[in-house]
A and B are shown apart, each in its own frame.
Chain A
Amino acid sequence: AQRVTQPEKLLSVFKGAPVELKCNYSYSGSPELFWYVQYSRQRLQLLLRHISRESIKGFTADLNKGETSFHLKKPFAQEEDSAMYYCALNRAGTASKLTFGTGTRLQVTL
């Protein structure tokens, strides 16, 4: 069975501070990992996926298979980063169902 764990329900940081949203997973096969973001009153949208190796809105995430982690990082938080962030996993290379973590609310304050 696949599982995604986001240990923090709420992460509050000051503007300009570094951000790290934690995500750990368990999966016996080859996983594909994603970060989704949900801004207030908006739909869920893809932020980044590990196979793209992109930096989106200053966020990056590296898949660490040894630690089974996919932490989301940003060096300098902005107010507009405040949102719910969900880590998700599915079977690599397939259009299969996503398993979501419980989400972390990021609150960036002045």
Chain B
Amino acid sequence: GAVVSQHPSRVICKSGTSVKIECRSLDFQATTMFWYRQFPKQSLMLMATSNEGSKATYEQGVEKDKFLINHASLTLSTLTVTSAHPEDSSFYICSAIARLNEQFFGPGTRLTVL
């Protein structure tokens, strides 16, 4: 089956710094990837749709200048959390669209901002 990887799996950073999270489709090409945020014991909240070669589409209430998304190739999308603050601490999950419009999810990245 299609595999999506994320790097890093967990990251701890200081408040005010920026953190980049990578999402890769390992054995397929994905023109569309999605970024989600998941709080403890809660559902996934879609943050943005990442489109290869064009600007990301952000959901209402998500600051595009805060969460920078770059989808530079058909196998890689990156999410950069800029000037991170403790309230940005969360579990970030990406997914990629593969065959038959099925979404495959990455394992997630746990971000802790001190």
Contact = CB atoms under 8 A, between A and B. Distances in A.
B107 A46 contact: no
A94 B101 contact: yes
Given A43-B105, A43-B106, A100 B43 contact: yes
A102 interface: yes
A95 B51 CA distance: 12
A12 B11 CA distance: 34
B97 to A, nearest CB: 4
B105 A86 contact: no
Chain B interface residue number, banded: 10 to 19
Interface residues of A, number: 18
Contact of A86 (B34, B44, B95, B104): B44
A97 interface: yes
A86 B43 contact: yes
Nearest to A94: B101
B44 A100 contact: yes
Interface in A36-56: 42-46, 49
A49 B103 CA distance: 11
A95 B93 CA distance: 18
Given A43-B105, A43-B106, A43-B108, A97 B49 contact: yes
A98 B106 CA distance: 15
A101 interface: yes
Nearest to A36: B105
A46 B46 CA distance: 17
A103 B107 contact: no
A86 B108 CA distance: 16
17 contacts: A43-B107, A43-B108, A45-B105, A46-B102, A46-B103, A46-B104, A86-B43, A86-B44, A93-B101, A95-B32, A95-B101, A97-B49, A98-B46, A98-B103, A100-B43, A100-B46, A103-B42
